Structure 1
Amino acid sequence: MATTWVAPEEGCATVTERDEPDPRRWKALAVCLIAGFITLLDVSIVNVALPSIREGLGASESDIQWVLSGYALTFGLVLVPAGRIGDARGRRMMFMTGLALFTGASALCGAAQTSLWLVLARLLQGIAGGILTPQVSALIQQMFSGRERGRAFGMFGTVIGISTAVGPLLGGLIIKVFGADEGWRWVFYVNLPIGIVALVLARRLLPGPDHENRACLRDLDPIGVLLLGSGVLLLLLPLVEARQWEGPAKWLLVPIAAAFFGAFVWWEIRQGRRGRMPVVDLALFKVRSYTLGLLVMLFYFAGFTSIFFVFTLYLQSGLGYSALLAGLAITPFALGSAVGASIGGRLVNRFGHALVTGGLLMVVVGLVGAIVAVDEVPGHRVGWAMVAPLVCAGLGSGLVISPNQTLTLAEVPPVQGGAAGGVLQTGQRIGSAMGIAAVGSVFFSRLAADQGRDWAGPLRHGLMVSVGFVLAAFVVAFLDLRKGRTSMPPGHAGPRAR
């Protein structure tokens, strides 16, 4: 479904909708997914390169932590305002801006001569990823409708799942090929040719804005952006720095963040009453499918992302696996996720929210199976023992991410797709940071109690916390299903924008 804009008053724009599928939409989707893949991949791929970075740049533990957390922090910080600007000023323009910035920042990361250089380049790279990512879900909303939209979101869900799970494997392969000394640089350089090709194709294939009059500058709501950004920053900081900042004082930032979110809600309501466009239309949260889908993603990503965090530590530091072998051990999850997402994209119209609920149950079963495997098959053979449980969890994950994304955005008007997708992605980033903080705290406290002698025990306890988060997502999805909510067809545009 495309959009066309008409000007009700000088210099401002509003939106009407017309049904004209873009004939190049599938090629354009491929460009979106390639760009989305490399930005999400960089959340996890750097993990296995950290020992090489530490040695090559003489980086401190704090520097290493910021190489990881700095990207996640700035990524999550700009998602919502970037989505809103894309809605107002053109998604292709924002997509290409983010992709060009990401490609340039990747080159700066690879060329880093000091740890400070690398940290600053990673912050810039995170900003670029945050600019680009919400445009992908918004463009899917814009270009597709009906069953096609379910398939398109299924592919996007595959990208989300695989990019997170396959990162350690790709990082290990790159370091194996280019060597421990320079391999970490190629973890970043590999983005350059992909980014350049995607930029050229994006200019040719992505739909441009269908309006002559752009949104008013005041409609971009800079005060709302500042309030929301401050709240996200203050909430994410203690989560991503949970291990680095000692003592409980850091958690005082959480109630301060809540105050900023409260001020943001007040301001957005005020904007609406004055007839101006808010950063996020709070009426979205009256749409049950959107609010509950957001909660499912928040809890699920808290459990989902933390799985790879503790598995990688256990396999490499505890069992002495190489970066490549550790990545291979996690690959069954990625393969299962790819298959599950493909199936989920085709079945979401038929089974709706029951598909998500069943997928969450499969993830719980798979993770419990992994805990049993660690107990029953200690030592180096545990990688083989975890194949079946990880495939099960991966299949379930594929049935969760893409169908939930489709159903969550089903009733969102395409004109609000960027902002709505940005909020959804922000929830995922907050969930990821929350999960890693909680699971990491349990994992390292148990490891310290055992004085580093037993790595299997801390892994089991960490995975139990991950299971707890996934169960929370399951409860939300199950209660929603019990209330008999019928899922709307993913092509339904929902309430029309005003």
Structure 2
Amino acid sequence: MEQRSHHSPADDPGSSDPRRWRALAVCLIAGFMTLLDVSIVNVALPSMQRGLDASPADVSWIVSGYTLTFGLALVPAGKLGDVLGRKPMFLAGLAFFTAVSVLCAVSPNPTWLVVARLLQGAAGGLLNPQVIGMIQQLFRGPERGRAFGLYGASIAISTAVGPLAGGLLIQAAGVHSGWRWVFLVNLPIGLVALVLGVVCLPRTGPRRAGKGLDLVGVLLLGGAVAAVLLPMIEQEQRAASVRWWLFGLAAGLLACFVVWETLWRRTGRDPLVDLGLLRARSFGTGSAVGSVYFAGYTGLLLVLTLYLQQGHGYSALEAGATGLPFALGSALTSTLGGRAVFRFGRPMMVAGITAVALGLGTTAAVVGHHPHGDIWLYVLGPLLLAGLGSGLVIGPNQTLALADVPPARSGTAAAVLQTGQRIGTSLGTAVAATLFYNRLATAHGDFPHATSHSLYGAAALTFAALTIATADLLVPHRADRIDRAEQRPAPARAQENPRSANT
């Protein structure tokens, strides 16, 4: 059950920092704020349309533009954090995000808001890899599991609480200007987090990088990510012609990226992404599970919100409140899962995904068979089950996936992991929206069955993640080494590792 650590204490300068829990609190506040902006904007879209006289295309890009630039910025930002130091990159990303949030709030027209949202997404992508990299750097052993558990709780809460918070702000400020407060709320949070970040975050020196700046790698990977995300954004927007051929371009760009990174490293230069990360089974499997899982569970709250507002006439506040059981359940088990990941490992994560799949499937069945009355009473139990399961997945999967990643590369590794999650989120949103609207059109406005159909699709994606996780569980693991050339001899003392908890 125990094995020796791959990293010597000298490799972990922040692992015993007495400020690590205060630093974690600052990181979670900042990460929560950027992830909240993904979900809180959805309920404010009707308010934006009225207040700015925005077209449907403008509204679509207000949502999709954030996701696109967020995904594009992640890997370069993670690399910069690894090389230049995470504290300065964290503070720069946080200041940028806070400032651009104000630009969003004061937008005089739709074009201004779309551009500001693109910048806001880039700022969020700059900030988020530093959060996970900081956790990886500051915590070791069971403490890291607890830290990632709290991070998983912040993801779940931001996803579910966003619609509720947006509904409250719009109800308080009015339909025509309430959307501005959805962005202005970031100003006090960002300023407080900046002050706390300067005081509480440890100062870490930059890592000595190899020769050369890998701009070609940035362009190739950025082009590939954009080519994957753009067709899914178009599908979500129900565009007349979706450019699916971009997937072929993405495959070609990724192949070129792999060849380029290999050649770049052979010349003694520092690549954008160490391809050894992808050869480590723990990281590769964790990335796959995370991507497919985010594709599944993301569709739940989106489709349910559409159904309650359009099919039942719920207000934005009422629709947002329906997601609270999921948020509360996930927050509870995320903290417990973070503590238990070193004891139960992958079996616990498989059990969590199973609970999410059952919760999604049950919610789909309930909506399809009980279309009238107070529907929220019928879905409360299944949503709670899905939330309880989700808390055992997100944080533990981060811990398991990054178990063999050296702290010096944790920012890049976290960015690759999050890029997969962003792509999964876009895929899940596109699939859920397509199934919902296509069924709604063929069923002549039958909202319950359109919602049920879409939720079954989300459950199927979650089951795919369950299949990957179960297959990984059944095949014994051997110790992974990200880069043997950079690993020092293991210290004499043993340290528990979550990768060994296979059975």
TM-score normalised per structure 1? 0.93
- SS of 2:486's partner is coil
Q: Could you tell me how far apart the structure 1 residues matched to 2:196 and 2:133 are?
A: 18
Cα 1:333–1:246 shift into 2, 3 Å? same
What is the rounded CA distance, in whole Å, between the counterparts of 1:161 and 1:243 in structure 2? Answer: 22
Corresponding residue of 1:215: 209
Distance 2:306 2:167 in 1: 14
Task: Please provide the CA RMSD for this pair.
Answer: 2.1
State the secondary structure of the residue aligned to 1:471.
helix
C-alpha displacement at 1:17, in angstroms? 4.3
Cα distance, 1:463 vs structure 2: 0.5
Following the alignment from structure 1 to structure 2, what is the Cα–Cα distance between the partners of residues 487 and 224?
Answer: 29
Question: Aligned pair 1:269/2:258, yes or no?
Answer: no
Write the deviation string for residues 130-162 of structure 1: whole angstroms up to 9, x where unpaired: 000010000001111011100001011111111
The answer as to whether partners of 1:332 and 1:390 remain within 8 angstroms in 2 is yes
Which residues in structure 2 correspond to 1:191-270 (within 5 Å)? 191-211=186-206, 214-215=208-209, 218=212, 220-244=213-237, 246-247=239-240, 249-270=242-263
**How far off its partner does 1:309 sit?**
1.3
Q: Counterpart amino acid of 2:423?
A: I
Alpha-carbon contact 2:210-2:269 (below 8 Å) kept:
no
2:448 aligns with 456
2:492 corresponds to which residue? none
Kindly indicate whether residue 146 of structure 2 is the aligned counterpart of residue 154 of structure 1: no
Contact in 2 for aligned 1:353/1:487 (Cα 8 Å): no
> What is residue 183 of structure 1 aligned with on the other side?
178
SS in 2 for 1:251: coil
Q: Distance in 1 between matches of 2:388 and 2:484?
A: 33
**Matched residues in 1 for 2:74 and 2:131: separation?**
12
Greater CA drift, 87-96 or 477-486: 477-486
Gap change, CA 1:66 and 1:249, over 3 Å in 2: closer
Flag structure 1 segments of 5+ consecutive residues without an equivalent.
Answer: 5-14
Contact persistence 1:352–1:487 (CA under 8 A): no
Q: 1:379 aligns with which of 372, 375, 380?
A: 372
The answer to whether structure 1 residue 111 and structure 2 residue 100 are counterparts is no
Distance change (3 Å), C-alpha of 1:487 and 1:178: farther
What secondary structure does 1:180 align onto? Answer: coil
CA contact (8 A) 1:413 1:495 kept: no
2:97/2:120 contact within 8 Å kept: yes
> Which residue is equivalent to 1:127?
122
| Shift of residue 182, structure 1, vs aligned partner | 1.6
Q: Contact 2:100 / 2:119 at 8 angstroms: preserved in 1?
A: yes
Instruction: Output the CA distance in 1 between the equivalents of 2:273 and 2:355.
Output: 34
Tell me the amino acid that sits aligned with residue 244 of structure 2.
W
- Residue 81 of structure 1, aligned match among 76, 83, 86: 76
What SS is found at the alignment partner of 2:444?
Answer: coil
Q: Which residue of 2 aligns with 1:8?
A: none
Residue by residue over 1:364-413, the C-alpha shift from the partner in whole angstroms, topping out at 9 and shown as x without a partner, is 11111112221332224111110010000001000000100110011111
SS at match of 2:237: coil
Contact 1:407/1:487, CA 8 A, preserved across alignment? no
Instruction: Quote the Cα distance in structure 2 between the aligned partners of 1:247 and 1:209.
Output: 50
Q: Which moved more, 1:309-318 or 1:479-488?
A: 479-488
Q: Which residue of 1 aligns with 2:280?
A: 287
Partners of 1:31 and 1:19 lie apart in 2 by 16
Q: Does 1:358 align with 2:347?
A: no
Q: Does the CA-based 8 Å contact 1:296-1:473 persist in structure 2?
A: yes
Q: 2:486 matched to which residue of 1?
A: 497
Q: Distance in 2 between matches of 1:171 and 1:496?
A: 50
Aligned equivalents of 1:261, 1:272: Cα separation in 2:
16
Residue 90 in structure 1 maps to residue 79 in structure 2: no
TM-score by length of 2: 0.92
Change over 3 Å in CA distance of 1:486–1:330 after alignment to 2: farther
**Residue 105 of structure 1 contacts residue 125 of structure 1 at CA under 8 Å; is this kept in 2?**
yes
1:481 equivalent in structure 2: 473
Deviation at residue 497 of structure 1 after TM alignment: 3.5
Residue 340 of structure 2 is aligned with which of 325, 347, 351?
A: 347
State the one-letter code of the partner of 2:132.
S
Amino acid in the other structure paired with 2:368 = D
In 2, the alpha carbon distance for the partners of 1:22 and 1:353 equals 29
Specify the alignment match of 2:25 in structure 1.
30
In 1, are the aligned partners of 2:101 and 2:120 still within 8 Å (CA)? yes
SS of 2:432 mapped into structure 1: helix
Structure 1 residue 470 corresponds to structure 2 residue 467: no
Aligned partner of 2:400 among 407, 410, 419: 407
Q: Could you tell me which residue of structure 1 aligns to residue 330 of structure 2?
A: 337
C-alpha deviation, 1:18, in angstroms: 4.9
User: Identity of counterpart residues, as a percentage?
Assistant: 51
SS of the residue aligned with 2:174? Answer: helix
User: Aligned to 1:58, which of 53, 61, 64?
Assistant: 53
Query: Counterpart in 2 of 1:9?
Result: none
Aligned residue-pair number: 482
Output the CA distance in 2 between the equivalents of 1:399 and 1:447: 34
Equivalent residue, structure 1, for 2:96:
101
Distance 1:254 1:125 in 2: 26
